[in-house]
Structure 1
Amino acid sequence: MKVSLRAGEKIYVNGAVLRADRKVALEFMNDVSFLLGSHVLQADETTTPLRQLYFAAQIMLINPSAKDEANLAFKRMLTALLGTFSNQQMLKELKLIDEVVCNDRIFEALKSIRGLYALEAQIMSGGSGAAIPAQTGQVRPEATA
């Protein structure tokens, strides 16, 4: 798998944080878990339940030594969300995300969670959420090569 980075861009690879000092292309020759810096959510940005769920999943991907603890936190949060939301589309998507995480496809789960942010915003603002199209079906292959 080949990844291109701009100057100053960060990439998280198997728990290590790398920053490119110039434009560079990296080719991963074996299995690797990575997340581009632009997809990393900072702790102070976890302002909604889905963003908190994303953060826990992100930790599983970028910090292998904390994966088990982050997975437990993810499962607790997911269980709480399934008990809180009544929107059928949200519930369906969350169950699919759970399945994806159980299959250790964390990158795919992150993309799916990001795709639900608009639906979450609509639900939290009092809307029905019916007008937001499902986006988790349009998943990019996971970030392993």
Structure 2
Amino acid sequence: MKKSMQLNLRAGEKLYINGAVVRFDRKVCVELMNDVTFLMENHVMQLEETTTPLRQLYFVAQAILMDPANAGAARNLFFQQLAALFTSFRNLDVLHGLDEVGQLVESERVYDALRALRGLFPIEEAILADPHCRPPRAA
């Protein structure tokens, strides 16, 4: 038997459930009684935040959850971007993380893949901050 999941939400906070956006006008505890695809507002990345390759991959992965009608197209784009990232990164922690993320999405555990991607953001930031890792600027 599946366990239910309780979510505590603040007033004005949004919850994305099976592609629907729900906003609560007061503090509330929501109990999800069955399997449901959801994202908490604080895990949703906005388009203007997709400033790095891993953040762009995150945005596509979240589209799999947030837009069920177009999940197939988002999944295809996700795996295309993932393949490109394997050729772009040399950092072993990032490469192992990307492998895990791909396996999670493949096994329909997209929420866990998002969590794993968030864990890679600090490594990516450090790589991008290192002037020796950046490609040379065009003249």
Is this a same-fold pair by TM over 0.5?
yes
Structure 2 residues without counterparts, runs of 5 or longer = 134-139
Q: Decide which of 94, 97, 120 is 1:93's aligned counterpart.
A: 97
Q: Decide which of 72, 76, 94 is 1:72's aligned counterpart.
A: 76
Give me the identity figure in percent.
Answer: 47
Q: CA deviation at 1:126?
A: 2.1
CA distance in 2, matches of 1:75, 1:112: 16
CA distance in 2, matches of 1:62, 1:25: 21
- Quick check: 1:10–1:18 contact (8 Å CA) kept in 2? yes
Bigger CA radius of gyration: 2
Moved over 4 A (4+): none
Instruction: Give TM-score, length-normalised by structure 2.
Output: 0.89
- Quick check: 1:6–1:20 contact (8 Å CA) kept in 2? yes
CA distance in 2, matches of 1:89, 1:128: 18
Report the number of matched residues.
129
What is aligned with 1:136? none
Structure 1 residues without counterparts, runs of 5 or longer = 130-145
Higher RCO by CA contacts (8 Å cutoff, separation 6 or greater)? 1
Q: Would you say 1:57 and 2:95 are equivalent positions?
A: no
Q: How does 1:1-145 map to 2 (within 5 A)?
A: 1-126=5-130
CA distance in 1, matches of 2:11, 2:118: 25
Instruction: Give TM-score, length-normalised by structure 1.
Output: 0.86
Q: CA deviation at 1:128?
A: 8.9
CA distance in 2, matches of 1:77, 1:6: 35
- Quick check: 1:15–1:62 contact (8 Å CA) kept in 2? yes
Give the alignment's Cα RMSD to 1 decimal: 1.4
**Secondary structure, counterpart of 1:17 in structure 2:** strand
